[in-house]
A and B are shown apart, each in its own frame.
Chain A
Amino acid sequence: MHIPDGYLSPSTCAVTFAAAAPFWYIASRKVGRMLNTKAVPLISVVSAFSFTVMMFNLPLPGGTTGHAVGMGIAAIVLGPWAAMLAISIALLVQAVFFGDGGILAFGANALNMAIVGSLVSYGLYRLIAGTSPLTAPRRVAAGGIAGYAAINVSALMAAIEFGIQPIFFHDASGAPLYAPYPLSIAVPAMMLGHLTFAGFAELVITGGLVAYLQRHDVDLLKATAPGAAMGMATSWKATRRLWAGLAGLMIASPLGLLAAGTAWGEWGVEAFQSADARAEIAAASHNVAPPESVPAGLEKLSSFWTAPMPDYAPAFMHSHAFGYILSALIGGGLIILTFLALSAIAARLRRATPDAA
């Protein structure tokens, strides 16, 4: 996933540097304030650690080996801000000194892996672990899932950066100047390896590390687990079946493709215009024929909002089943995030009220 020089145009490199810069600035301010004189040695040594962890070979099912990037580990132990600095430094050393990843592409690599990777893994870890006790198995699962999701989001970012190159940059003959593949090829090609092998390596390393720390050095997990001591041991058990059920439903979501006919009442403007769709509407409505023309209100409002992922399949996705699962993941994630944001606001209000009184 380390993007070398020559794959991205200079303007893409500049944009990614510009996008990463505010994060670096905020992170260095926060870390400096938090750690004071301890920041320099801590970030240095943790960078060296993430560099070393990238060299561990992990045997994977299927007879191959892979190495983890370790972005989840740093975020879980140090929090996202220190982690993004440490991993950025490790990436810079790799780019300059070991030729792994480009120098101009350092901004893109840092954005994908250090910044987005740290934020995603920290956010998911906190989200899934909740207030469970430090030694709860739920934290192991949270770590594993956080690592898996972080590396996949990073890979998706890299794939999108690759995929937009042929849209913008051509020479006079129309030959792509940089990474040549459009999104429809770049995204599946990148994600295939990361959803399987690389993701699995990250899952094992991050989850395994949390499990190890729970047994031998549980204090290291404290920094990113505020409120863990108050958590009830049963909270994960109580909701475990619900989470498993949700995961099952997401995976089963492509079953919708098997269903015959249309969803009653969920018709679009096009459905009233094609003969086949009109017949389906009639069949589903006890043979009552739909109106001859498109209802005026429907026609007027239909152009008001266009979905980012129409028909549960993003434009670049050719596999419908995969599109369904991705839509389920994104949709489910958005709903969970909304509820968490609401409950965080509610908790803050609740805390604020007694103080005011």
Chain B
Amino acid sequence: MEGEKGVLPQDTGENAPPQPSPQGGGRASAVPRSHVDLAGTAPPSVSPRVGEMAAAIGGFSAAAQSVSRDVGESGTPRSKTNRRLFHTPSHLLHALTHAMEAEDLAGRDGLLQSLDPRAKLAGCLLLIIAATMLHSLLGLVLLFALAVALALASSIPLLRLLKQVWLGVLAFTGVIALPSPFLVSGKVIATLPLLHWSISEQGLRSAAFLIGRAETAASFAALLVLTTSWPHVMKAMRSLGVPVAVVAVLGMTHRYIFVLMTTAVQMMEARRARQLGPLKPADQRRLIASSAGVLLSKTLAIAGDVHMAMIARGYRGEVRLIDDFQFRARDGAALLLAALVPAVIFWMQR
């Protein structure tokens, strides 16, 4: 892996002076205020940097996939293992398109989009708590129906929730819950033919609880991020008592995830462009480990640069956030309704 450091000679020029975007870290501290001015031409809700990077990564990933497909079709049997390594860009691409679409959905007109982010964040948390403390399957179904109704009222396509949340949670939790009817002891209601495994009522109920809770809680969490831009979610966290430094760090983290993902994809692509034929799994592992090493060196260099940029712009250790939220009567009403749900559940389950 002697070429690792030289993989991206052009990269230092591109990434070295990292520019906090108008969103994300942009509003989080004293530094970015100047950046808000710099990027004044961009619409406030959509970050041009995110779009730019997603497009770049999209291109890289498409190229990477088409190349690896070529190798896969014409290459030796070992090329199959090679393709796996390059799943990485599509992973990253997925995360980025995700972020883009979320920004688009958050900009639409809808019930949840029109609410104050603080009310939305607190309300979603209350509803997730409600889903977690419920002891009734019927109640879980009703809460899930509430999530679906909120999605429809906020013009979030159900197909999107299905793809992003419901199927994913079902795949993960379903596998975990599957053995439960056979393993949890209780009243036997049926027996599997041939295998003679008994299915218990308690086991079935418990599997339903697990899946129902996970789906409902994940739906409310997804509704929050799909209808609120990320900087707003973070600023709203302030109102829940999250320390201001944590909010600033979250904002900058979110921003630099995209920078580092772009860097990672470029590194993989540059390495692959110089590679003839497939790599052995051991070499692939070495490649991944040294890529992580290069990325870490770059990360720490970026941290130093950002720090100096912040100091140069007047950062002295305190973080200030621009708070421009307006709490109206409808926000109060929504929050009250959301708070009623766990309160009623608590009262009924006493």
Contact = CB atoms under 8 A, between A and B. Distances in A.
Contacts of B288: 56-58, 204-205, 208
Contacts of B299: 45-46, 48-49
B341 interface: no
A40 interface: yes
B202 A45 contact: no
A65 B289 contact: no
B97 interface: no
A332 to B, nearest CB: 28
B217 A212 contact: no
Contacts of B253: 43-45, 47-48, 51, 89-90, 93
Contact of A104 (B5, B129, B169, B202): B129
A208 B85 CA distance: 16
A34 interface: no
A67 B62 CA distance: 22
A176 B202 contact: yes
B221 A103 contact: yes
A77 B296 contact: yes
Given A40-B29, A45-B299, A4 B88 contact: no
A57 B210 contact: no
Given A42-B303, A173-B205, A220-B300, A6 B91 contact: no
B289 A180 contact: no
B135 A177 contact: yes
A103 B214 contact: no
**Interface SS, A side:** helix
Most buried by B among A77, A102, A103, A175: A175
Given A103-B125, A175-B206, A10 B307 contact: no
A354 B117 CA distance: 62
A7 B214 contact: yes
Contact of A209 (B215, B250, B292): B292
Interface string A50-88: 011101111111010100001001000100000001000
A213 interface: yes
B229 to A, nearest CB: 11
Contacts of A85: 249
Interface string B208-248: 01101111111001101100001001000000000101101
B292 A4 contact: no
A180 B173 contact: no
Given A40-B29, A89-B249, A173-B186, A5 B213 contact: yes
B132 A43 contact: no
B205 A65 contact: no
Given A41-B307, A45-B256, A51-B257, A5 B217 contact: yes
Contacts of A185: 183
A37 interface: yes
B58 interface: no
A207 B293 CA distance: 11
Contact of A73 (B169, B203, B296, B311): B296
Contact of A45 (B172, B204, B224, B306): B306
B264 to A, nearest CB: 5
Contacts of A155: none
Interface in A146-196: 166, 171, 173-181, 185
Nearest to B279: A59
A175 B79 CA distance: 48
A13 B132 contact: yes
A6 B216 contact: yes
Contacts of B255: 44, 48
Nearest to B261: A52
Contact of A89 (B85, B210, B250, B261): B250
B338 to A, nearest CB: 15
Contact of B87 (A42, A57, A98): A57
> What 8 A-B pairs come out closest when comparing CB atoms?
A208-B289, A6-B213, A212-B293, A44-B252, A5-B217, A175-B205, A48-B256, A175-B202
16 contacts: A41-B310, A48-B255, A53-B292, A55-B91, A57-B88, A58-B285, A59-B285, A60-B281, A61-B281, A73-B296, A77-B296, A99-B168, A102-B218, A173-B205, A180-B183, A209-B296
Given A49-B296, A57-B88, 19 more contacts: A9-B132, A9-B133, A10-B133, A37-B310, A37-B315, A46-B300, A49-B295, A52-B264, A57-B87, A70-B292, A77-B296, A89-B249, A97-B230, A99-B225, A104-B128, A174-B186, A174-B202, A207-B289, A208-B292
